[in-house]
Amino acid sequence: MVKTSAPGKMMFFGEHAAVYGIPCIAFAVNQRLYCSINKRKDKRIIFNFPDIGLMDYEYTGSSEDKRVKFIEAAIKNTVGDKISDFGFEVETRSEMKKGVGTSSACVVAMVAALNEFFKLGLNREQMFGICYKTVLDVQGKGSGYDVATSLYGGFVKYTKGQLPIPMDCPAKLHLVMGHTNIKADTVSLINQVAEKKQKFPHFYEEIFRLTENCVLEAENRIKIGDLEGLADMMNFVHGILNGMGVSHPKLEELIFASRNAGALGAKLSGAGGGDCMIALASDTTVKAIMAEIEKKGGAPFEVRVDEGVRIEDI
């Protein structure tokens, strides 16, 4: 038996621009997905995903069920024809909140588990290539920051298709996530931005240039521990994202409620269109911000930076 776990992720700076090769800053969060693989006596490959009510589901390699597409693609890209040698059983268990990348954590945990189970000897760089290919195979688009962050953990600076660069996390960083309870469609939002970029190319070149400047300035503020300067960049870049049309009325409500409750800065995190926002708090304002998010109908969670994928049991 092999058991692995991988963390969720949140984008801090660089939403949407990251798809076009602009650097972004992201971090792994303290919510994990666990994946275990056990050998079977027969040659069947069985999925058990109790969190989503899917049990005793047999792998075919070409399922149309969206719930298993990432796992099936991860198996194909990691072990290929080796799966015909003997059967095994895959089970996942998640402690993750909405909006922090369950799919990416599932891919990372699965690839790491297969690597150990089949003794493939893949290093982290090779696993990243497999994870990124898996995401592209399933959804067609994406920067790869999600699997990179879940795989490597911590705070990272990431540029599309490259390996992430670890960053130090400020010692007094207090972050609160607020989920809108509205599910967003990441691919649709990426397509929406692509259409606007095609219609207004010069404007979007400037938008992405400003976004990159925000990322670089945020990186500097993180290095020197200037949380107020970091908060200014959060507020600034959220204005850019709102102007791009990827925010949502509920996101705006939670963001302004957080600021009114004492957040130094707040912005949407991820593709937008719903899902989640993130607020930079002080040690004395965390509870007030969480209470205000909940009062406005959101789901709050105090976020801590976590390590990347790990082996839990062999």
Residue 187 tokens read as: 């691919």
Q: Which of 124, 140, 168 is the last residue of a domain?
A: 168
Least confident residue range of 31-40, 81-90, 119-128, 262-271: 81-90
Rg over alpha carbons for the chain, rounded to the nearest Å, is 20
The verdict on residue 9 lying in a domain is: yes
pLDDT tens for 204-232 read 999 999 999 999 999 999 999 999 999 99
200 and 138 part of one domain: no
Q: Which two tokens stand for residue 166?
A: 């670890």
Give the model's pLDDT for residue 218: 96
Pick from 70, 277, 271: nearest CA to 190: 271
Residues 250, 180 contacting (CB under 8 angstroms): yes
Q: How far apart are CA 207 and CA 196, in angstroms?
A: 12
pTM above threshold 0.85? yes
Q: 268-279 b/e with 16+ CB inside 10 Å = b?
A: bbbbbbbbbbbb
Q: Say whether 107 sits in a helix, a strand or coil.
A: helix
Identify the residue whose tokens are 């939670």. 254
Q: Which 8-state DSSP code applies to residue 86? A: S
Classify the phi-psi angles of 259: left when phi > 0, otherwise alpha if psi is within -120 to 50, otherwise beta: alpha
Domain boundary among 110, 135, 168: 168
Phi-psi region of 48 (alpha: psi -120 to 50; beta: other; left: phi over 0): beta
Tell me if residue 102 falls in helix, strand or coil. helix
Residue 121 sits in a domain whose CATH number is: 3.30.230.10
Both 6 and 150 in a single domain? yes
pLDDT value of residue 84: 64
Indicate the residue among 115, 140, 168 that finishes a domain.
168
Tokens 């799966």, residue located: 83
The per-residue pLDDT for range 230-289, each reduced to its tens digit, is: 999 999 999 999 999 999 999 999 999 999 999 999 999 999 999 999 999 998 999 999
Dig out the tokens for 156 from the structure: 């990272």
pLDDT at residue 65 in the model: 72
Q: Is residue 312 situated within a structural domain?
A: no
CB 177, CB 8: distance < 8 Å: no
In a domain, 109, yes or no: yes
Alpha carbons 267 and 274: distance in angstroms, whole number: 12
Contact status, residue 230 vs residue 173, Cβ threshold 8 Å: no
> 195 with 149, same domain?
no
What are 222's two structure tokens? 């993180």
Q: Angle at the Cα of 78 (from 72 to 81), degrees rounded to 5?
A: 80
Domain of 239?
Answer: 174-303
Q: Does some domain include residue 213?
A: yes
Q: Which amino acid is at 172?
A: K
Name the pLDDT band for 102 (thresholds 50, 70, 90). confident
Residues 200 and 163 reside in one and the same domain = no
Q: How many domains does the chain have?
A: 2
Q: Are residues 158 and 24 in the same domain?
A: yes
Residues 255, 121 share a domain:
no
* Cα separation, 66 vs 56, whole angstroms: 16
